[in-house]
Structure 1
Amino acid sequence: MKNFTIYLLGLIFFVIGILFIMDIFYTKVYENSIPRTKFQYLRSFKNKRIDYIFLGSSRVENSIVPNLIKEKTGKDGINLGFQASKLSDIYTVLRLVKEYNIKVDKVLIQIDYIFNIEEGYSNVFQYEIMPFIRENQVTYQYFDSHFSDRKEIFYFPFYRYCTFGSKIGFREIFANLINKRSKIIENYGFVSLYGNSFNHDNSLPEEINLKNIYFDKIKEFSTRNNIPIVFFCAPFCKHTKNLDFIKKLKQKIPDLYDFSMAIQNDEMFKNCSHLNNEGACFFTEYLADEILK
């Protein structure tokens, strides 16, 4: 019985040791490979200077073309829109800009109906930040505030890579090891959409919340750290219901650039909330003329 107990304990320690080694190996690969995800791309700007950064949801990711802004203004920038981002995610990215000592002349934040949302987070951002949970207090606090299994994610070796294997597991590790490039760097974070669905069922909220705690945190953080912030609303198709919501939003944010009706041509929309590639190019040049030139 004694020998069996010793054998069992040895086996347990061996497995835990292997898990520790795998956890360290996977993390080091993500830290040191050529950026494949937008979060890795953000980290690559540590201790660098950049003219502007766009933050927001997919309505930024699919709408802002930094290459065109470079051609039009000569300014360098990146698109850090993450699909399904809420203001809590945007606040985290803004804090990481400061944490990574990225010097930026202007941060442009897209805001719309997400003003009404305080709960939830972007699944895409969650997966991309996961390998770097132990990197600093900002990444740790992001998981500490959102996830019930945060202790397991943070303390148990290799737990995160097993639980989220389809997103950050072996296939993605192999792609990082062989430096398989994505279009993230080439397009400076922009992701293009093509075609038209002509889905006109989109509707904005009828009422606007009194406040959003993360919006207040973004304002306070940018003021305290002397980060120039510009708020804007990207276009919706003209068929969107309750567009008066943006007028109510502008009452909350008087300096909001309202581009919600900047595009009237349905052929420039993938759907009522997202521009296709043609629309993104048109809107990017329009916004550059209004804000960045």
Structure 2
Amino acid sequence: MKKFLVYMVKILIIIILIAGVLDVAFTYVFMQSKNRGKIETVFNSKSEKYDVIILGSSRANNHFVSQIFEDEGLKSFNYGMSGGHLFEAALMLKLMVERKYVIKNVILEADLNLSSDYNAEGISALFLPYIHNSDVIKKHFESQENFNELYYIPLYRYIKYDTKIGFREVFFTAIHKKTNALDNLGYYPLEKHKNGNMKNNIINLNPLPHNKYYEEIKAICKAHNINLITVMTPMCENVIGIDYFDKVKAAYPEIYNYENVVKENKYFSSCGHMTDEGAKIFTARILKDFFNK
């Protein structure tokens, strides 16, 4: 029995050592990455200067045309993340501040995601390779239930989120295989599809009276003299529960309601996401209203 226990302990030690080595190797690969995604690009950069950055979910990623700002002499990048929540938007801004970015204006898309303050696992996982190398990432995740496992168990985060940061992603990152995430200055244009879902029911959504991560974004901008422009972006004309946007305005009077700036379904790829044509109309309006362009 004693020999068996000694044998099992040795096996356990070997497994831990292998996990530790793989953890270090995986992390090293991500630490060198600059061309696959927005998060690693920010993490592996420093002291960037922007006139305008865009933060939010896919309703930011697909709605703000960065090049339109650039054409007016405003250095811009769309850091919206499809599938992301305000948890990830706040962390992205914190990471930029940690990297000493100089930012004049943040345009934040905050509407549907004000109804929750939990993270989007598939997107927040993309920050985890750097959890031991960034104080802001570590602190941001400390409130999560599985923080101890993510932080202290070697390789755990890579196994748990294998589809996002596992071996396949490590391999593609190592060979510097590019994605389209950084194309078009971060903006992702959509086309009109015949089978696009043009019905959306948000009748049961209600904005939280105090969204933790939205409040964090406001506090960061105030502390670093960043002009924060928070907007609600358009939805198609068939949406059910459109009074949700009135509820947001009542709870957060400082948020600008642009939900009805673009209405016609012909400008939408799906009910919650405009086509490239619709996004250009919307961005032009934002440029005119806030930048006098």
Q: TM-score, normalised by structure 1?
A: 0.88
Candidates 116, 123, 126, aligned match of 1:125: 123
- Deviation per CA, 1:88-123: give whole Å up to 9, x if none: 3322222222222111011111111322323x2123
8 Å CA contact retained: 1:198, 1:266: no
Distance 1:126 1:210 in 2: 23
- CA offset at residue 132 of structure 1? 1.2
Q: 1:201 to 1:47 in 2, by over 3 A?
A: closer
8 Å CA contact retained: 1:113, 1:205: no
Matched with 1:262 is 261
Distance 2:289 2:162 in 1: 43
Q: 1:212 to 1:160 in 2, by over 3 A?
A: closer
Opposite residue 259 of structure 2, the aligned amino acid is S
Matched with 1:24 is 24
Distance 1:39 1:288 in 2: 26
Opposite residue 41 of structure 1, the aligned amino acid is T
Q: 1:67 to 1:195 in 2, by over 3 A?
A: same
Q: 1:115 to 1:15 in 2, by over 3 A?
A: closer
Correspondence list, 1:205-216, <5 A: 205=204, 208-216=207-215
Amino-acid identity (%): 27
8 Å CA contact retained: 1:19, 1:158: yes
8 Å CA contact retained: 2:32, 2:44: no
Matched with 1:189 is 186
Distance 1:2 1:243 in 2: 69
8 Å CA contact retained: 1:61, 1:83: yes
Q: Which runs of 5+ in 1 are unaligned?
A: none
1:152 matched to 2:140? The reply is: no
Distance 1:3 1:69 in 2: 70
- CA offset at residue 264 of structure 1? 2.3
Distance 2:8 2:206 in 1: 61
- Deviation per CA, 1:129-148: give whole Å up to 9, x if none: 121111222211232222x3
Correspondence list, 1:18-57, <5 A: 18-57=18-57
Matched with 2:170 is 173
Q: 1:9 to 1:203 in 2, by over 3 A?
A: closer
Correspondence list, 1:1-293, <5 A: 7-71=7-71, 73-118=72-117, 120-146=118-144, 148-196=145-193, 197-205=196-204, 208-292=207-291, 293=293
Opposite residue 129 of structure 1, the aligned amino acid is F
Distance 2:255 2:147 in 1: 36
Opposite residue 179 of structure 1, the aligned amino acid is H
8 Å CA contact retained: 1:45, 1:102: no
8 Å CA contact retained: 1:83, 1:122: no
Q: Which runs of 5+ in 2 are unaligned?
A: none
Distance 1:287 1:226 in 2: 21
- CA offset at residue 208 of structure 1? 4.8
Residue correspondences, number:
290
